[in-house]
Every structure is written in C-alpha cells, then in structure tokens.
Amino acid sequence: MGRQKIKKITLCLLLFSLTLTLTVFLVLRYPQPVANLNNQDTAQSIPLQIDTDQIHGIPLYIDHKYIGKSPLSTKLPPGKYRITAKPAGYVGSVRYLTLKPEDPADQKIILPVDQHNYQDFLDEITRLGYQPVRVMDYYDHVPLTKKTMVLRHDVDVSAAYALKLAEMEHAKGIKSTFYFRWSTADPQVIKAIRDMGDEVGLHYETLATYALEHNLQSAQEITPSVKEQLRERLKSEIAEFKQKFGDISTVSSHGADENIRLGVSNYQAIMKGQDPSDFGVIGEAYGEVTDHFTYMSDSGGFWEPFPYPQLESDRGPFYFLIHPIHWASSFHFIHPVHVSSSFNKNLPLPR
C-alpha cells in the first residue's frame, strides 16, 4: 500500500474519530427532548403546558426523562407523572401530576425555580427571623416556636463542601448538625466543624452494607435475627466513630441504593422502636423528631416541598435537611479548602 494512501486512510480515521467525539459531547451537553414519553399519541392523550415561574429556559423532566426547556407543550396519556424543573447547579423543584380521561382538554402546570445559592438561603432565613438549632438541641429540649428551624446536613459525598457550608453558617452565628458517612468522615474537617460549635454525628448505612455482604434480595430476608445482628453492628460502629472523632449525641440513617431496592431504611431495620441510649446516643435524626416539624428536604437535588412560600407564611417550626453536594454553585466564588490526603473520596471543589 502506498504511503499517500496510508496517509489518506489515517486522515479519514482521524476525522471520523473527531466527528464521533464531537457528536457524543453534543448529545451529553445538549440532551434532545423526548418527543413522546410513551411512543404513541393516543386518542386519550391530554394536552399539557409546562412552564416555570418567573424564569424561562429551565430544563424540564417527566419521570426522569428530559423533555426540553420551559415553556413547552406536550401530550400525555392518563396516568401519574413526576415533573421536575432543574436549573443547572441549583436545587430543583418537583410536582406530581395525575391526569384522568375526564380532565379538561388543556392542562397547565407551573414549577417554581430556585436560584438561591447557600448564602442567599441563609440571608433569607435570617431576614425572616428563623433560629436554626442542631438535632441534639431538640433532644436537649430546646423551646420550640414557629421560628425554630432544625438545620441538618447529610454529608453523602464531599467533606470539603460540608466545611464550606459550616463556614458560611458560622459567619452568621448559625449552628447546625452534620452527619458523616464513613466514606466522608475526614478527621480535619470534622474537627474544624466541631470547633465552630456544630454537632457531628454518624450517617450510618449498616443495613445497606450488610445487604451487599450477604446479597439480600428482599425485605423478607431481614429477619428478627438479622435485625439483632444489625443493631450490634451499629453499636460497634458508633463506638468506633466516637473513638476516632470524639463523642456524638445523635446519628442519622443514610438512604443507599440497597435501601431503596429492599424498601427498608437503615432506621426502620435497626433503630425504630429502640432506646437510643442502648446505642450510646440520645436520639436519631429520623422518627418521632420529625413529627414535631414541617419537614423540608433537598434529597436528590430537588426541594420537596418548595420551601420559600412556607417560610414566608410562618408555618414552622421547620426541619430542614440540606445536602452540601446539591449546593455546588455556592462554592464557585470560594477558595478551595485543604482536606487531609488520607481522605481520597471527596469531589474536587469547583475552580
């Protein structure tokens, strides 16, 4: 084969590779809307308009499938749907919609848009006069008013982000609770957060770990004997966490994929109905504590429910669960922090 022909073939392969790479990038960066979620436009399909409040051009999803940006029109057969709006880098909002054949021909849904960074959120709750407390403060019988707000953080992914949230809260005189998984429990970060007056606890995933080790396939396999094993495991975990990081007052159940698959939370399998003192703590972050509050969560990166109208309406006391990882946009203007080299599971801070 001649040298010129080899060069032409090489050039063609290079161009093909570049084209393929660019195509993949564009597909991932700019997802195409799903034209019809059910691949059919039935006679019963109901026209639906979806929009976002105040700000347009927000990515929209129906049952986790991207359908385009607001505002848009589509048609859906009767059924139940989860509709979400997710601004890039911010916490999204969720609406649940049930369409029935007898519904009017045109339906419209408007989703709120949250473009607060974490500093904005803190400014808002301060402006409205809310008084954040730690989970341990509830168990220590702090007086509850409509302006009381339990402020809790589950550190699922990044200890560095947790430290940034703690620093922002500390600057406003706010104390809260941070629960660390074993995979995010960085000694330097935990010490720094403790030194600011915040509560630190274990975000335990004992059932999820056991399920992986023993290949549990259903909730029926979580027998009373297994539950007893799990309780003894958690007692040992709490004792070890205290030995490594200092005393703790409360713990919090982590929701892992294994818990979702089994339909059983770590709390339900282990601590529900148990005396926390048997585990060496005064309480759990779930269970009866949440019964006394209006509960708000950004789990999965979406507010459920959308909090700001309720904050304005004095529907407290409130219990806020906020995951640092969902507020990444808040850290673009902050210098990166040092996290000890022994802890290698943090996400890098945005640059």
Give the helix ranges, DSSP H, for the chain. 3-29, 118-127, 135-139, 159-171, 187-195, 206-214, 224-245, 257-262, 266-270, 308-312
Q: Confidence class of residue 337 from pLDDT cuts 50, 70 and 90?
A: very low
From CA 301, how far away is CA 323, in angstroms rounded? 8
β-strands 46-52, 72-76 pairing: antiparallel
From CA 347, how far away is CA 161, in angstroms rounded? 9
Token look-up 């707000």 returns: 149
pLDDT digit string (tens) for 297-324?
999 899 988 899 999 988 889 999 999 9
Angle at 349 between CA 345 and CA 351, to 5 degrees: 145
pLDDT digit string (tens) for 278-299?
999 999 999 989 999 999 999 9
Mean pLDDT value of segment 238-254: 98
Exposed, middle or buried: residue 233 (CB in 10 Å: 0-12, 13-18, 19+)? middle
pLDDT of residue 18: 47
pLDDT digit string (tens) for 13-41?
445 544 544 443 344 344 555 445 544 45
pLDDT of residue 40: 46
Bond prior to 309 in cis (omega within 30° of 0): no
Phi, psi of 284 (to 5 degrees): -115, 150
**Domain 46-111 part of CATH 3.90.1200.10:** no
- As a whole number of Å, the end-to-end CA separation of the chain is 49
pLDDT of residue 8: 55
pLDDT of residue 20: 45
Tokens (6 digits) for 224:
């009373």
pLDDT of residue 38: 46
Q: What are residue 204's DSSP bridge partners?
A: 253
From CA 325, how far away is CA 33, in angstroms rounded? 27
pLDDT of residue 2: 57
Question: CB-based contacts of 82: which residues, under 8 Å, 6+ apart?
Answer: 62, 63, 64, 94, 95, 96, 97
The reported pTM is: 0.80
pLDDT digit string (tens) for 70-127?
999 999 999 999 999 998 878 899 999 999 988 887 889 999 988 889 999 999 999 9
pLDDT digit string (tens) for 179-208?
999 999 999 999 999 999 999 999 999 999
Q: Where are the domains of the chain?
A: 46-111, 118-331
CATH number of this structure's domain 118-331: 3.20.20
Hey, is 99 helix, strand or coil?
Answer: strand
For 309, half-sphere exposure in the C-beta direction (CA atoms, 13 angstrom radius) is 9
237 touches 281 (CB < 8 A): no
Phi, psi of 17 (to 5 degrees): -65, -45
Hey, is 164 helix, strand or coil?
Answer: helix
From CA 47, how far away is CA 107, in angstroms rounded? 6
- CA proximity to 339, closest of 183, 143, 209: 183
pLDDT digit string (tens) for 86-95?
988 788 999 9
Give the count of beta carbons closer than 10 Å to the beta carbon of residue 310.
14
What is the average pLDDT score of the chain? 85
pLDDT of residue 89: 76
Q: What are residue 284's DSSP bridge partners?
A: 251
From CA 44, how far away is CA 76, in angstroms rounded? 8
From CA 61, how far away is CA 65, in angstroms rounded? 5
